[in-house]
């Protein structure tokens, strides 16, 4: 049960990050460096999430 709750929480965070990223991308005259940094941060977060999930599954 706790694992499912954590997964739901992490998924919700991922959705929020994606929405924030889409919002930044649609802003007029976006700062390309800030956008790049946001993508890198999101990529690292996703990598960490995958590693954590694999660890939780006993991998």
Please state the pTM of the whole predicted model.
0.45
pLDDT category at 1 given cuts 50, 70, 90 is: low
Q: Are 14 and 49 in contact (CB under 8 A)?
A: yes
Q: Is a pLDDT exceeding 90 seen at residue 59? A: no
Tens of pLDDT, residue by residue over 3-43, are: 788 888 888 988 888 888 888 777 666 578 888 999 999 99
Cα three-residue angle 43-38-13, rounded to 5 degrees: 65
What SS3 class is residue 45?
A: helix
């Amino acid at each position: 049960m706790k694992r499912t709750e954590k997964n739901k929480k992490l998924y919700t965070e991922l959705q929020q990050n994606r929405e924030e990223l889409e919002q930044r991308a649609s802003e007029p005259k976006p700062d390309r460096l800030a956008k790049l940094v946001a993508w890198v941060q999101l990529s690292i977060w996703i990598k960490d999430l995958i590693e954590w999930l694999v660890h939780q599954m006993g991998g």
